Amino acid sequence: MIPITVFTGFLGAGKTSIILSLLPKLPKDYSVVLLKNEFGDVEVDSKLASSSSNLTAVNEILNGCLCCVLVGQMQSALLEIKEKFNPDRIIIECSGSAFPATLAFQIRQLEKDTEGAFKLDAIVTVIDAENFAGYEDTSPTARMQASYSDVILINKWEHVSERQLDVVLDHLHTLNDLTPKIKCQGRDGVDPNLIFGLDSQLFRLEERERHEHTHSHSHPHTDEVQTFTISSSTPPASLPTKAQVEDAILKELSKEVVYRLKGFILLASSDNQTSSSLEILNWAFGRWDWTRYQSTDSETADTPTFVRLTIMGERGPQLRNSGKKVAQLLGAEVIGNDV
């Protein structure tokens, strides 16, 4: 029986970082496979995750949501992971719009179909304390994620005042008063013993599972978030530097409109253009970090040669205009519906 831990949380809450911080704290002979579901077609987080020596494998399902259009893909992926790796644990990291009750229903159904080969261990929701009060007001999905959870991890709380944190906790207690709420310790994350081995009590009632499963399909929640790809395979004559991208783009993005901007970009290492590096950009709600991409011998042909970014945010013309502005500054183009 392979335990499955599901991580949910709104876009940019910090799910990948918390998962990666958990892995080094596990026994060295404990094998974990990460199954990721992400908006867009840029495998940013998987590239980061696969660099962790504590992961047995990383599988990624792109361009859709596991609890809606990709139901069959998730079940097939779980069966394939068991057959190929048979790990000690599977971690599913959902897209920012996933509805946890529906995922729980699917896993419990697979549990029955395989006569107990899998077991739902826990639904873990990651909350971004710095931005939760904002997106909780506008996103039914964010409220659902906080409501249907075995444990809530409060991330980025060190960036807010005590009063702001109290407001977030009040909101969370209103949505879900019985669920444990744990503050993450920065980059150190949380103790695995606090979230692994919980034996989910949340979705025991079959009727409730079926109700939520049906409800989420009749009210598609993915409409809350829109996604565009910003891409160019031809580098300009003069590559931008990290400082230029930060000043012209990253500092100017509105976190009320743009939730995430992430992907790959080739940058000049210095103003004199003598060297360059392919960087992974991860921007969320006004904060960002860079990670130098280390290529491997098994590099795929679609690895970007200049820029390939996914921009995600509030559906509407403002996001579209933000994407076009970023693309224009980088000499790239925007790909997606309604461009």
User: What are the tens digits of pLDDT across the range 192-209?
Assistant: 888 887 655 444 433 344
Mean residue pLDDT of the chain comes to 77
According to DSSP, the residues that pair with 217 across neighbouring strands are: none
pLDDT value of position 135: 54
Length of the chain, please? 339
**What are the Cα distances from residue 237, in Å, to 268, 273, 306?**
11, 10, 11
Residues 298-336 have pLDDT tens digits of 444 445 568 988 887 777 899 999 999 999 999 999 886
Mean pLDDT for the stretch of residues 5-32: 86
**What are the Cα distances from residue 264, in Å, to 130, 136, 142, 291, 298?**
26, 29, 27, 10, 18
Going 138 to 143 to 144 to 149, the CA torsion angle's sign is: positive
φ/ψ of 284, rounded to 5, equals -145, 120
Bigger pLDDT: 265 or 73?
Answer: 265
Res. 128: pLDDT tops 60: yes
Which amino acid is located at 248 in the chain? A
Res. 245: pLDDT tops 80: yes
pLDDT value of position 212: 46
pLDDT value of position 213: 45
Contact (CB, 8 A) for 127 and 155: yes
Percent of the residues in the chain that have a pLDDT greater than 70, as a whole number: 73
Residues 157-200 have pLDDT tens digits of 998 899 999 988 888 888 777 778 888 988 788 888 888 876 55
Mean pLDDT for the stretch of residues 37-47: 58
Contact (CB, 8 A) for 249 and 326: yes
- Phi/psi region, residue 331 (left: phi>0; alpha: psi -120 to 50; beta: rest), is left
As a whole number of angstroms, the distance between CA 214 and CA 239 comes to 50
* Residue 47 banded pLDDT, cuts 50, 70, 90: low
- Phi/psi region, residue 186 (left: phi>0; alpha: psi -120 to 50; beta: rest), is left
As a whole number of angstroms, the distance between CA 293 and CA 35 comes to 21
Contact (CB, 8 A) for 70 and 128: no
pLDDT value of position 83: 92
93: helix, strand or coil: strand
Domains and CATH numbers, the chain: 2-194 (3.40.50.300), 225-335 (3.30.1220)
pLDDT value of position 210: 42
pLDDT value of position 326: 94
Mean pLDDT for the stretch of residues 264-288: 80
Percent of the residues in the chain that have a pLDDT greater than 90, as a whole number: 20
